[in-house]
Amino acid sequence: MKDTRILIIDDEPDFSALLAANLEEAGNFEVREVNDSSKSLEVARDFKPDLCVIDVVMPGLDGGDVVSRFRSDPDLKEVPVIMLTALVEENPNRPDGETITGGLPFVSKTSDFETVLACIEKHLLEAEE
Amino acid sequence: MADLRDVADDGAQSGADGKGAATAGDAGVAGGAAASPGVALAVAGILAVLVLVVVPAAPTAVRILVGAIAMICLAGLAWRRSRGGVAAGSGGEARVLAERLVERNRELGQSLADLQSDHAKLEHYFDTLMENVPAHIYFKDERSRFLRTNRKMAAVFGCSHPADMVGKTDHDFFDAQHADDALEDERRVMRTGQSISGKIEQETFKAGDRERGWVLTNKMPFRDRNGRIVGTFGISSDVSDLVQARRELERERNMLRRLIDSFPDSIFVRDPGRHYLVVNRAMAGFVGADSPAEMIGRKPEDFFREMAEGGPEEDLEVLASGKAVVNREWSHPNAAGEVRQLMTTKVPLLDREGRCWGIVGMDRDVTEQRQAREQLRESERRLQEMMDNSPAVIWMKDLDGSYLMVNDGFESLFGLERRDVLGRTDHDILADKEAAARFREHDLEVISGGRARQVDDRLYVDGEPRWFVTVRFPLRDVSGRIHAIAGISTDITDRKHDEESLRRLNEDLVKANENLQRAQEQLIQAEKMESIGRLASGVAHEVKNPLAMIAMGLEILARRIPEEDDKATETIERMKRGIERAKKIVKGLVDFSSARQLGLQAGDVNGVVREALALTEYQLRKAKVEVVEDLAAELPPVDIDTNKLEQVLVNLVINAMHAMPDGGRLTLRTTEDRLEAVDRDEGARTKGHLREGDRVVRIEVEDEGTGIDPAHLKKLFDPFFTTKPTGVGTGLGLAVCRKIVELHRGTLELVNRAEGGVRATVTLKAAEP
């Protein structure tokens, strides 16, 4: 089975590296990191991810900008996106801890890796369907 | 004096008469010896003597003439007797001679009888004279011994009969001094032959019981027939009354003189020709004359250089009409050149027949009075002016309550003119008799108390009640006696209104200030919260990233630790717990900072309460907390953010639970209410959005715990303030709760319940229907 490609866009290389490491250890994930958000579209077109995990607060293009560019790109507009940010808290009322705002799932950066993973898997499943 | 001189003259004449009478007596005796052909001569002589005696008042010349006639008669008689002797001696005519002698003898006998009869008559005349003349008459010998006195004199000298005085002297009757003086006088009379006439002397008798009397005495030499002085005789009359009268007259004159001289006013008498007859010292002093005498006989024009108008004319008018001029005022410079204000009164002087013979007048210097009067008028005018320019109502009354003075303020207040007020009382001028009686009562209190009093009083003016503050005070004369009462009334109606508005304004200001202070506190608090919030969210975001990294890193490390390495496993677990704690704090901070805006919509508070209870049910049961739901059956909808309010209630419930570590009862109550008064206690800082009369919904969370330390009440809502053990509370719960409630425009307050425990109350304004 071909590895599922996850693109992590975050200006924090340490965080993206650790998340990538966890994902790679957790399953069949091919993970690529983008720490400079201005290159995210370019990388994504090349990488063709199955799902994007995008930070919100970033210098230059922020998460919202990146999402809107993805949405206006014919190849990328269907790619599921998870906003992983320190701006929100884990929603205690949902097992995936996400909060849907403006049609986008927001997950707290401080959520357990398992919660983040559950959220990613859920959206991958939804995307497959 | 003229009268007295007359008396003295009379005495002198009486004395002369006495001498004449004695001479006549001698002549009569001589006449008696003449022959019968000389009867005619004798009769003529006697007649002459009689004339002298009977007409004592005859002038001296007449007396001398009559005396001469008497002497001629006597001489004739003597010549006839010598011629008869020669005839009897002739020879042939012896018979004829004898017949003649017989005839002569008969005639002589007849003559003698006639002479004796005449002598008796003379004696009678003399005695009559002696005893009836109202004077003392006496004869003394050359040694001043009494020869004869009249009865009257003897009686006065204390002798029962004139004969008792014979041989005695003045020394027997008078005191030595007077007797010596009299003796000296008599000696001089005898020595000189000169009479002493009209001497007034004081007789002082020896006996102390006799009064000292004044007599007018005449002493004359007493001569025998040959003209030799053989003694003295005299006549004296009692003039005590006259002397007394004269003295009194003198005294009276002196007194009057002194009186008019001591008068400070000028007094004068002028004759119809305007010459001064009498002038007193004051007048002389006024015009600068040396003495009053200098002015006598001169006219006013000689002294009054600037004679006032109508001077001579006025005198003529007074003289002609007989009417007095009273108190005419004029002015004239005095001797020193100072112009003096004079007040003149002139009265005509009338004789017995009512004819005007002069003018008596008086000039009174009234300069000082006029000045004083002028000063008084001036000071009264000033006083009135000051009173009139005062906005107060000022008045002065006498002790009977009659107005003496009022000012313009008084006139305008009562709408009365001064002339209608002065001399009248409050009862006369005020329609409000009750007020008049009250004023009188206040006045009398001041009069009897003798001290100033202040009274606030209300008076209806044009039907409007007005307030006055009146200070009444007694007015005293120089002797300190209260003679009037004065008052100053100030209309304080406006002031009272102003005070009232000021008071209200002040209250409003105080209220506004309190509100402002509260608002400021809230603002400061809000700003503090706002900055803390911003800081918190910034910190949260920055902390969360490394926290997330650590968590991610730990995941990786945990998978690489062998299961048997307990130590490493435990370390990983501790680190994970540390991350959890940090996450909790960050979550609280984020909650606090994110509670800035709400999605409000009308909702059911009871529903939120039930949801909050459902969320905490498991924890409450575990903590053995019994929940009492006391929810209102029906509540008005309230604009709420359901999630946020739920968060608040969960927080309050968890707090209550923590306050009862051994379990207890937790009551959740909802009520609808109308806000009556916004009370302000220590626990409530957030009433700003609610007003009296607002319809509100209250949510109360009560516990039975230990309550809140009063010292902590103020800090309850400060971020990071907590009383819970480390790790149990973040210290952000209540701060966030309050922020959320505030965003709902409601209040959150925590109080210690009287019965123990704490009551947290969320008050929210009901949605507008």
Do B328 and B423 fall within a single domain?
no
Average pLDDT over residues B678-700: 65
Contact B544 A22 (CB under 8 A): no
Q: Please tell me which of the candidates A15, A22, A25 has its beta carbon nearest to residue B545.
A: A15
Residues on chain A touching B556 (C-beta within 8 angstroms): 18, 21-22, 25
Total domains present in chain B: 6
Average pLDDT over residues B453-475: 86
pLDDT at B88 (0 to 100)? 46
**B190 in Cβ contact with B232 (< 8 Å):** yes
Containing B625, the helix (H) or strand (E) segment is strand B625-630
**B122 in Cβ contact with B53 (< 8 Å):** yes
Average pLDDT over residues B6-11: 40
Residue B318 sits at the vertex; the CA angle it makes with B301 and B362, to the nearest 5 degrees, is 60
Q: Which of A100, A110, A112, A120 to mutate to test the interface with B (most CBs of B within 10 A)?
A: A110
The CA distance from A26 to A17, in Å, is: 14
Do B610 and B563 fall within a single domain?
no
pLDDT at B743 (0 to 100)? 81
Q: Please give the mean pLDDT across all residues of chain B.
A: 81
pLDDT at A79 (0 to 100)? 92
**How many contacts, defined by CB atoms under 8 Å, are there between A and B?**
46
Contact A86 B552 (CB under 8 A): no
Backbone angles phi, psi at B285, to 5 degrees: -65, -40
Helix axes B733-743, B566-594, angle to 10 degrees: 30
Do B125 and B191 fall within a single domain?
no
pLDDT at B430 (0 to 100)? 85
Token output for B689: 């959005």
The CA distance from B637 to B246, in Å, is: 136
Q: Please tell me which of the candidates B545, B553, B587 has its beta carbon nearest to residue A109.
A: B545
Backbone angles phi, psi at A21, to 5 degrees: -60, -45
Do B176 and B236 fall within a single domain?
yes
Contact B556 A89 (CB under 8 A): no
CATH number at residue B649: 3.30.565.10
Do B304 and B268 fall within a single domain?
yes
Q: How many residues does chain B have?
A: 769
Q: List the A51-54 sheet strands across, edge first.
A: A29-34, A4-9, A51-54, A81-85, A104-108, A99-101
Residues on chain A touching B555 (C-beta within 8 angstroms): 22, 113
**Nearest C-alpha in A relative to B543:** A86
Q: Is residue B254 part of a domain?
A: no
Residues on chain B touching A109 (C-beta within 8 angstroms): 544-545, 547-548
Residues of A with CB under 8 A from a CB of B: 12, 14-15, 18-19, 21-22, 25, 57, 86-87, 89, 108-110, 112-113
The CA distance from B121 to B110, in Å, is: 16
pLDDT at B129 (0 to 100)? 87
Q: How far is A98 from chain B (nearest CA, A)?
A: 15
Exposed e or buried b for every residue in B624-640, given b needs 16+ CB within 10 A?
A: ebebeeebbeebbebbb
Do B57 and B188 fall within a single domain?
no
pLDDT at B41 (0 to 100)? 65
Q: How far is B726 from chain A (nearest CA, A)?
A: 22
Out of B562, B594, B626, a domain closes at B594
Contact B540 A25 (CB under 8 A): no
Average pLDDT over residues B264-272: 90
Out of B594, B615, B648, a domain closes at B594
Residue B620 sits at the vertex; the CA angle it makes with B615 and B626, to the nearest 5 degrees, is 120
Listed in sequence order, the residues at least 6 apart from B768 whose beta carbon sits closer than 8 Å to its beta carbon are: none
Q: Which of B549, B552, B576 to mutate to test the interface with A (most CBs of A within 10 A)?
A: B552
Q: Is residue B499 part of a domain?
A: no
Q: Is residue B599 part of a domain?
A: yes
Average pLDDT over residues A63-70: 90
The CA distance from A114 to B555, in Å, is: 9
Q: How many residues does chain A have?
A: 129
Do B608 and B746 fall within a single domain?
yes
Q: Per-residue DSSP letters for B560-606?
A: HS-TT-HHHHHHHHHHHHHHHHHHHHHHHHHHHHHTT----EEE-HH
Do B566 and B663 fall within a single domain?
no
Q: How confident is the model over B219-243, as pLDDT tens digits? A: 999 998 898 999 999 998 888 888 8
Residues on chain B touching A108 (C-beta within 8 angstroms): 544
3-state class of B94 per DSSP? Answer: helix
Q: How confident is the model over B57-66, as pLDDT tens digits? A: 556 666 666 6
Contact B549 A21 (CB under 8 A): no
Residues on chain B touching A15 (C-beta within 8 angstroms): 545, 548-549, 552
Q: How far is A106 from chain B (nearest CA, A)?
A: 15
Contact A87 B541 (CB under 8 A): yes
Do B414 and B532 fall within a single domain?
no
Cα Rg, chain B, nearest whole Å: 73
State the pLDDT confidence band at B689, using cuts at 50, 70 and 90.
Answer: low
Q: Per-residue DSSP letters for B263-296?
A: -SSEEEEE-TT--EEEE-HHHHHHHT-SSHHHHT
Residues on chain A touching B553 (C-beta within 8 angstroms): 18
Residue B363 amino acid letter: D
Contact B551 A12 (CB under 8 A): no
pLDDT at B682 (0 to 100)? 39
CATH number at residue B304: 3.30.450.20
Q: Is residue B273 part of a domain?
A: yes
Contact A113 B544 (CB under 8 A): no
pLDDT at B39 (0 to 100)? 64
Q: How confident is the model over B420-431, as pLDDT tens digits? A: 999 999 999 888
Q: How confident is the model over B360-415, as pLDDT tens digits? A: 999 999 999 889 999 999 998 998 898 899 888 999 999 999 999 999 988 988 88
Contact B590 A89 (CB under 8 A): yes
Residue B166 amino acid letter: V
Residues of B with CB under 8 A from a CB of A: 540-542, 544-545, 547-549, 551-553, 555-556, 559, 579, 583, 586-587, 590-591
Q: Please tell me which of the candidates B553, B559, B583 has its beta carbon nearest to residue A25.
A: B559
CATH number at residue B558: 1.10.287.130
The answer, yes or no, to whether residue B51 has pLDDT greater than 80, is no
Do B307 and B434 fall within a single domain?
no
3-state class of B355 per DSSP? Answer: coil
Do B75 and B17 fall within a single domain?
yes
Domains and CATH numbers, chain A: 4-128 (3.40.50.2300)
Q: Is residue B257 part of a domain?
A: no
Out of B543, B568, B594, a domain closes at B594
Do B442 and B457 fall within a single domain?
yes
Residues on chain A touching B542 (C-beta within 8 angstroms): 86
The answer, yes or no, to whether residue B677 has pLDDT greater than 80, is no
**A110 in Cβ contact with A84 (< 8 Å):** no
* CA B366 to chain CA centroid, nearest Å: 23
The answer, yes or no, to whether residue A61 has pLDDT greater than 70, is yes
Q: Is residue B56 part of a domain?
A: yes
**Nearest C-alpha in B relative to A56:** B541
Residue range of the domain that includes B108? 2-85+97-132
Q: How confident is the model over B728-767, as pLDDT tens digits? A: 555 567 877 888 888 888 888 888 888 888 899 999 988 8
Q: Is residue B330 part of a domain?
A: yes
Q: Which residue has the higher pLDDT, B92 or B444?
A: B444
The answer, yes or no, to whether residue B466 has pLDDT greater than 70, is yes
Q: What is the DSSP letter of B745?
A: T
Q: Is residue B496 part of a domain?
A: no
Q: How far is B594 from chain A (nearest CA, A)?
A: 10
Q: Please tell me which of the candidates B548, B553, B587 has its beta carbon nearest to residue A109.
A: B548
Residue B550 sits at the vertex; the CA angle it makes with B548 and B554, to the nearest 5 degrees, is 115
State the pLDDT confidence band at B445, using cuts at 50, 70 and 90.
Answer: very high
Q: Which of B547, B555, B615, B654 to mutate to test the interface with A (most CBs of A within 10 A)?
A: B555
Q: How confident is the model over B333-347, as pLDDT tens digits? A: 888 888 888 899 999
Q: How far is A20 from chain B (nearest CA, A)?
A: 9
Distances (CA, A) of A8 to A34, A99, B514: 6, 19, 56
Average pLDDT over residues B202-230: 82
Q: How confident is the model over B107-124, as pLDDT tens digits? A: 888 888 999 999 999 989
Contact B552 A113 (CB under 8 A): yes
